[in-house]
Amino acid sequence: MCVAIYKPKNATVEFDKLQLCSETNPDGMGFAVRVKNKLLVHRQLEDFSSFFKLVNQYQNNQMIIHFRIGTHGVVSRQNCHPFVMNSKSIAFVHNGILSKYAPKLSSKVSDTVMFRKTMLEPLVRKYPEAVFRDKKIIRLLGEAIGSGNKLVLLDHKGNHSIINEDEGTTIKGVWYSNENWRDDLPTWQFGSTWNYGNTGAYQGSKKYNKRSSRFKYNNKRSGYDAVAYDRDYPELETLCELCCQPMQVTPEERAKSYEDICLDCCDEILREQSGQLD
């Protein structure tokens, strides 16, 4: 299970706590920080030390942080959080498993990507302030994602919202979506089998190696290992940050790309800015 973090302005995230989060959720990390009424978003797959150096530069700013452990989709930068919406004016991170939005086991995208595409982004585009101010919308979002799931949203104005906030914990002013990363709590004991979700689609054995911090999900029916890596898919397409559709780019172009937005979305943004769209 991932960990999502909300750091208010002037609160401090500590190196040792984030390092534990990274070790127990090793499939990618990222943050979104509000700087001068803009959101800066960074995501990477590994190298926690370099990641913390970036985080440490913004200790006086509002920030959302995420460490991922893959359950759906490949382990790739495109599946790392945070995700952005509404022309990059809103960013969000998620913790949990969204069974209702889970893609096929062979899909390269995560359940969070599918949730953003099918529910959250359409809602935010139509009611960008509601996810921060409307208590009914916030409650409905909590019901939609279900218990055990948490969302943290942050916009460029400094508004933030934590869905299912009471299921997390606050340590020294910083909110964490769970405490599974802590090494000062009793070690979890797992049985030989597990069931997750109402459909029973994901049933199998669950093993936890404390040193590698790796959960393996082995589906009994197909033998499919749900944790895959982008290196296993050299032809992996980059996903557009706005519409989540694949972008046909070469590995060289992908490596150089810092703006993962497809040409159609770029054109739509330009038309919107020029007043050609409502």
Of 75-89, 178-192, 222-236, minimum mean pLDDT range:
222-236
Residue 186 lies in a domain: no
Q: Of the segments 23-32, 216-225, 266-275, which one has the largest average pLDDT value?
A: 23-32
Q: Which single residue is written with the structure tokens 């739509």?
A: 268
Identify the pLDDT of residue 275. Answer: 58
Identify the pLDDT of residue 132. Answer: 96
Identify the pLDDT of residue 106. Answer: 65
Q: Is 263 found in the same domain as 153? A: no
Of 176, 196, 215, which marks where a domain is finished? 176
Does the N-terminal peptide bond of residue 122 adopt cis geometry, omega within 30 degrees of 0?
no
Give the pLDDT mean for 18-32: 95
Count the domains in the chain.
2
Q: Is 172 found in the same domain as 252? A: no
Domain residues for the domain of 15 are 3-176
> Distance between terminal CA atoms of the chain?
40
Q: Of the segments 75-89, 100-114, 218-232, which one has the largest average pLDDT value?
A: 75-89
Residue 217 lies in a domain: no
Beta carbons of 30 and 65 less than 8 angstroms apart:
yes
Of 141, 158, 176, which marks where a domain is finished? 176
Q: Is 158 found in the same domain as 262? A: no
CATH code (residue 71): 3.60.20.10
105-154 pLDDT, tens digit each: 667 888 898 899 889 999 998 889 999 999 999 999 999 999 899 999 99
Q: What is the mean pLDDT of the chain?
A: 76
Residue 260 lies in a domain: yes
Of 176, 210, 229, which marks where a domain is finished? 176
